[in-house]
Chains A and B, each alone.
Chain A
Amino acid sequence: MDAKMFSPFLDAVFQVLPGLGLQQVERGGLTLKENMQATNEVTALVGLSHDLQGNVAISMSEHTAKRIASIMMMGKPVAILDEMAQSAIAELANMLASSAVTAFDQNGLAVGVSPPTLITGKNLFCIVSQVKALAVQIRTETGPIEISIGLEI
């Protein structure tokens, strides 16, 4: 497992989130897991293929998702996580992965990003990757966000 492969994703977090208007973006714990399990209420998922195979998931509470969606929609209040708000969170996963992929591209790796999917529900249990994965906790003023990166490398 090459730590270098993860850094474009971390860089993307600190580029994209503040760019959207989040004021406070700090890195918390970083854990390497045997397989990736996310259990939050809202998860946005994108798949990676071609030179790099894997999945990237962004997971958060519904409360955080509503606050981020509101920031992304120019401060418009978000009372329920409706389809519009959901598509904002899905887009966030897409932006993070696409930003990382641009960095890979500059290093000669061609990586494709699949369209984002948003998973919501209760009593959730997810196995985002069946290989070793890195989970990064990000603290923001909207609440904690977990970014999970599972790469088959």
Chain B
Amino acid sequence: MTIRVLVVDDSPFIHKAIARALPEDEYEICGVGKNGREGIELYQKLAPDIVTMDVTMPIVDGIQAAGEILKGDPRACIILLSAMGDEELIQQAKAMGIKTTVQKPFKAPELLAAINMVYKPKPSNPAVSPVSEQPATYSDYFRSALENTLKEMADLDCSCGRTEIQEGILASKGVAVILGVTGKRSGRIILDTSREVACCLSEAMNGEKYELEDDFILYSLSEILNILSGKAITRINNIHKDTNLRLGPPSIFVGNPLNINSPKIKAEIIKATTTAGDISLNVGFEGGDK
């Protein structure tokens, strides 16, 4: 099911930036308003899932427009995009019922992280939902958590390829961090890379140079997996009520060769290319991850 987004902003540049930031397979820009008044009208007409709202616009500004929209629909999911990041504006927006504020200029992962944080899909009625609706798999949540964790912790942009199915035994690149998940569904998450890439990631995270032999780089990798998994399962727990997933602590394995086998698991691999090098995130749950 795609998430329908109404963009209200007077800058065509921002329209494009938002369209680029939101993956086409998950999001649809259902309308564009060039000022607050158009925003209010389009909201009523289109009933979008999410509104991105600029602050400074002609005719009716974003704060007024958001106020009008929230008056009619207090549950409207509005994200304020503001060039001003002052605390007063953020507090005012929050007090009005605006879900969150993203400061311009934003990068795609920041906008996605904000949406992930505030947008809760409306419960769909299975009797009427179309057959073609594809529920997000757990690995989708891990993919976006990987992207925004690398951005936040190491200021690295990463691009993830198509998710692949893990067949049989995983041959590690040399360093693997493994973390168990329990709850309604149990599984395990593996972050795998080479020692060299782990070293570059550490340097990007901590702004210092490390020797390849330094175990500190292993702990940095372990921390990345811990944080990204925390983000992903928080979101899964919020969206899929009663799932109640919990994480175990990470374990680190180094070896050459190093082979990893999870017999009860159907796993998916998210391959990510970053400027620090390639890493793969292997997400596996008992019985698959739908």
Interface residues of A (CB under 8 A from B): 43, 45-50, 53-55, 57, 83, 86-87, 90-91, 112-131, 150, 152
Contact = CB atoms under 8 A, between A and B. Distances in A.
Nearest to B250: A130
B204 interface: no
A117 B178 contact: yes
Given A55-B249, A150-B249, A127 B218 contact: yes
A123 B182 contact: no
A55 B219 CA distance: 16
Contacts of B183: 49, 112
B169 interface: yes
Contacts of A90: 261-264
B186 interface: yes
A114 B252 CA distance: 16
Q: Which 4 A-B pairs have the closest CB atoms?
A: A47-B180, A114-B180, A112-B182, A47-B248
Contacts of A49: 180-183, 246-248
B246 A121 contact: no
B258 A129 contact: no
Contacts of A124: 253-255, 258
15 contacts: A48-B180, A48-B248, A49-B181, A50-B182, A90-B262, A112-B246, A114-B180, A114-B187, A114-B188, A115-B180, A115-B188, A117-B190, A118-B262, A130-B250, A152-B249
A121 B257 contact: yes
Nearest to A39: B255
B41 to A, nearest CB: 49
B181 A121 contact: no
Interface in B259-290: 259-265, 284, 286
Nearest to B171: A121
Interface of B: 168-169, 172, 176, 178-183, 186-188, 190, 215, 218-219, 222, 246-265, 284, 286
B186 A114 contact: yes
A123 B172 CA distance: 13
A86 B263 contact: yes
B263 A83 contact: yes
B13 to A, nearest CB: 46
Contact of A86 (B172, B181, B258, B261): B261
A128 B258 contact: no
B179 to A, nearest CB: 7
Contacts of B260: 117-119
Given A50-B182, A115-B262, A123 B188 contact: no
Contact of B254 (A53, A117, A126): A126
Contacts of A152: 249
Given A115-B264, A124-B254, A127-B252, A50 B259 contact: no
Contacts of B246: 49-50, 112
Contacts of B256: 121-123
A86 to B, nearest CB: 5
A117 B182 contact: no
Nearest to A36: B251
Given A83-B261, A118-B262, 14 more contacts: A45-B178, A47-B179, A47-B180, A49-B181, A49-B247, A83-B168, A83-B263, A87-B261, A114-B182, A114-B186, A118-B260, A127-B215, A129-B251, A131-B249
A122 to B, nearest CB: 6
A21 B157 CA distance: 53
